[in-house]
Amino acid sequence: MLKKAIAILILCLAIYLSFDALIPDKISDLETPLEQFSTERALLQLTEISKKPHYTGSEENTRVRHYIISELEKLGLETQLQEGYTISKWGNIAKPINILARIKGTANTKALMLLSHYDSNPHSAIGASDAGSGVVTILEGLRAFLSVNKQPKNDIIIGISDAEELGLNGADLFVNKHEWAKEVGLVLNFEARGSGGPSYMLIETNGGNANLMKEFVAANPQFPVANSLAYSIYKLLPNDTDLTVFRRDGDIEGFNFAFIDDHFDYHTVMDNYARLDRNTLEHQGSYIMPLLHHFSQVNLANIKSTEDYIYFNIPFFKTVIYPFDWILPMLFIAVILFISLLVYGFRNKKLNIKDIGKGFIAFIFSLISCGLLGFLGWEFLNILYPKYGEMLHGFTYNGHTYIWLFVLLSLGLSFLFYSKVYKANNTASLIVAPLIVWLIICTAIALQLKGASFFIIPVYFGLLALFVLLRQKQPNLLLMAVLCIPVLFILSPFVKMFPVGLGLKMLLVSTIFVVLIFGLCLPVLGFLKHKTRWSYFFFFLGIIAFFMAHIQSEFKPDTPKPNSLIYTLNADESSAQWVTYDNVLDTYTKNFLGESPTEASALNTNTFGSKYASGFTFASNAPVKDIPLPIIEISNDTIIGETRHFDICVIPQREVQRIEVFSDSTNHFKSFKINSVDAYRKKGDSLVFVNRKKNRLFSFFVSKNDKLDLQISVPKNQKTSLQLFEASFDLLDNKLFSIPPRERHMIPKPFVLNDAVLVNKTITIE
């Protein structure tokens, strides 16, 4: 009984250590030696950067820029600004102002670049984490690095970009238009997509990662959180950072360091100084110092490779790497060992076909039932709590409690199914089914998702456990627990990582992982006699977790409800409406939309979209206000051959922050320049804006109320119609309106146009 208790404690300790090794548990204070990174010193700078929203083009953006420049100059660095219009592949045009500086190295080699961005997301995001944390990580890291007065071998370029949130425009400006870009050999980019949790390392490369990983291991960061599966998934998702532009346009390698937990704060007013996890900032500091010292000295001209490495982090061993060439041999050896153990087990009558069959039933039923629990359970919760739909990123404030809930229920179901097949000496037979399933998974991974091939390593320990079970009548449970440690070290963090990183819809993946881990822990769990009691115990804990999540489901000042309100004026028809992106109206939005608003789906043909493809949901009539309309001038209208050329100048008559232009898909454009920048054109396309979504041509993010100049060419007989939307973010303080402040448990909804005065006007060229 004592050994069983100790074995269970070993499993629990392994799970704890798998998470504890991911992030520092204390921060460095102001008394930290000057040559070391200090989180508290970095926080002093963050207070200045994160006072207010500072999106590109805003006055606060200018103030933050001046502050960063002054901090770089205090370090003795000469700064320069790079400014100009760029357009992203998403059709977002902006005028970023990048902050650049350079530390001269001793050798004429490739330069190391430290990168982050200083703009916050429009319009209400404070940007303390995204990416104020990245900026202060670089500033404090540089201060500590320079304090030792040792000149690096490689030049160090500091790039604090602008307009990252609008479409990576600042990075595009640097990579494609600055002479320094050709000298960059490696980029360290510091980012955030939440306000806490460990910082994940993700590689950006057009080739192999072998040399990058060898040098990363040589740099020896204290808390590496990196695995080749995460990057394989990252490459499949539509998430980009500034570093993506370096890889895509400049063929420049780099490392992203980004934390993704507490996703509910992302791009909101809650992304503030107080909510940033201090240990997370310490984690960023634990990356920059060893990597800055290391990569400022190595030859970055040799960083490229054609070979790929598997890599993953594990407590005590930090980052483990090995070549892709090992994947198939390791899989083949594992299969041979498994077959050999089966032959040995049957010959010595240690394995029983009937018990193996029961083990298959228990394991497959566990997988299916827990998979359905993860999928249908989250769907049910969304029906039970429709307000969760207002959190567009899919991770609720009580999301961590829901992860606990589904993990506990999955354990309860697994114990319940295995309670039906348990016998005193059939554990060896029961583990056969999990091992077969794991080998099938590893085979599929080796063929389709090579980055996850390190999953084979826990299987080897499972095979070793099976060998011990076949050899010993009474296997030592403590030894069995030790053999279970690798699967817990390597895979436990994934149970949390998937729903945290990709939203609670990924609870399905978490529940499947729980069963897979459970299967490889059968060498210990299989010997527990009272599995039904264990099942009831975990169900009981699950009930507690559910009620805790229910209590936490209410929107409160520290867990506020996102909502949205826009006033839209149709200048063509002299009509106005209140509109919202919300599915569940509250006391704030009902003030304007009423108790029975009309559905607004008809308004979504040509209108502002959002990151998560949400459109206007409800609308109601509003009074027509005397909003100054933009002046629209059409000039240089000429026909040359089969092509008509004309210029359009849009001159705002009020302070606006964003202009969007739409045109029906029947209109064709041979060329299109926006403020002298050619519109994005896919390679091989003869026309511009081919296959546009929802008729959208482009978005212009306005700085200093700049005018919008368009130079357009179209087929000569085409009647061209453009629909112009002009937005200002001043609804709450516009003197034409009397908008009450939101209640304390509400915040502006992120990822959509919000708190805006929107004017719609049509331009027709006949």
160-200 pLDDT per residue, tens: 999 999 999 999 999 999 999 999 999 999 999 999 999 99
Closest residue by Cα to residue 37 from 115, 141, 189, 190: 141
* 524 three-state secondary structure: helix
- Whether residue 123 is preceded by a cis peptide bond, meaning omega within 30 degrees of 0, is yes
Question: Cα–Cα distance between 722 and 755 in angstroms, integer?
Answer: 25
Across 403-424, average pLDDT: 94
Tokens of 303: 């960083």
528-547 pLDDT per residue, tens: 888 999 999 999 999 999 99
Tokens of 335: 């299969």
311-361 pLDDT per residue, tens: 999 999 999 999 999 999 999 999 999 999 999 999 999 999 999 999 999
pLDDT of 239 higher than 80: no
pLDDT of 237 higher than 70: no
DSSP 8-state code for residue 298: S
How long a stretch of residues is the chain? 766
Closest residue by Cα to residue 116 from 70, 157, 58: 157
490-506 pLDDT per residue, tens: 999 999 999 998 999 99
pLDDT of 732 higher than 90: yes
pLDDT of 707 higher than 70: yes
357-390 pLDDT per residue, tens: 999 999 999 999 999 999 999 999 999 999 999 9
Residue 41 Cα distances to 47, 103, 138, 192, 305, angstroms: 11, 22, 12, 19, 38
Q: Phi-psi bin for 83: left (phi > 0), alpha (psi -120 to 50), beta?
A: beta
Tokens of 414: 């697994």
640-679 pLDDT per residue, tens: 999 999 999 999 999 999 999 999 989 999 999 999 999 9
Where do you find CATH 3.40.630.10 in the chain?
A: 27-314
CB atoms within 10 A of CB 66: 11
78-123 pLDDT per residue, tens: 999 999 999 998 889 999 999 999 999 998 789 999 999 999 999 8
* AA identity, residue 724: L
Q: What is the pTM of this model?
A: 0.94
pLDDT mean across residues, the chain: 94
What stretches of 578-632 show up as alpha helix (H) in DSSP?
587-593
Question: Cα–Cα distance between 314 and 226 in angstroms, integer?
Answer: 9
pLDDT of 234 higher than 90: no
pLDDT of 457 higher than 90: yes
Residue 591 Cα distances to 311, 579, 610, 733, angstroms: 54, 12, 24, 17
pLDDT of residue 605: 75
Q: Which residues contact 540 (CB under 8 A, 6 or more apart)?
A: none
Q: What are phi and psi of 378, to 5 degrees?
A: -70, -35
Q: How far apart are the first and last CA of the chain?
A: 89
User: What angle do helix axes 353-384 and 399-419 make, rounded to 10 degrees?
Assistant: 150
pLDDT of residue 86: 96
Question: Cα–Cα distance between 729 and 745 in angstroms, integer?
Answer: 21
pLDDT of residue 187: 98
Q: Which residues contact 337 (CB under 8 A, 6 or more apart)?
A: 460, 463
How would you label 131-151 residue by residue, b for 16+ Cβ within 10 Å and e otherwise?
bbbbbbbbbbbbbbbbeeeee
pLDDT of 607 higher than 80: no
Question: Cα–Cα distance between 97 and 83 in angstroms, integer?
Answer: 4
Longest dimension (CA), the chain: 93
Of 233-242, 465-474, 560-569, 748-757, the one with minimum mean pLDDT is 233-242
Residue 253 in contact with residue 303, Cβ under 8 Å?
yes
Confidence of residue 238 (pLDDT cuts 50, 70, 90): low
Confidence of residue 255 (pLDDT cuts 50, 70, 90): very high
pLDDT of residue 90: 85
Residue 702 in contact with residue 122, Cβ under 8 Å?
no
Tokens of 675: 């403020």
Confidence of residue 610 (pLDDT cuts 50, 70, 90): confident
Closest residue by Cα to residue 603 from 575, 624, 627: 575
CB atoms within 10 A of CB 383: 8
pLDDT of 74 higher than 80: yes
27-314: CATH homologous superfamily? Zn peptidases (3.40.630.10)
pLDDT of 721 higher than 70: yes
pLDDT of residue 343: 96
DSSP 8-state code for residue 628: P
pLDDT of 425 higher than 90: no
pLDDT of residue 763: 95
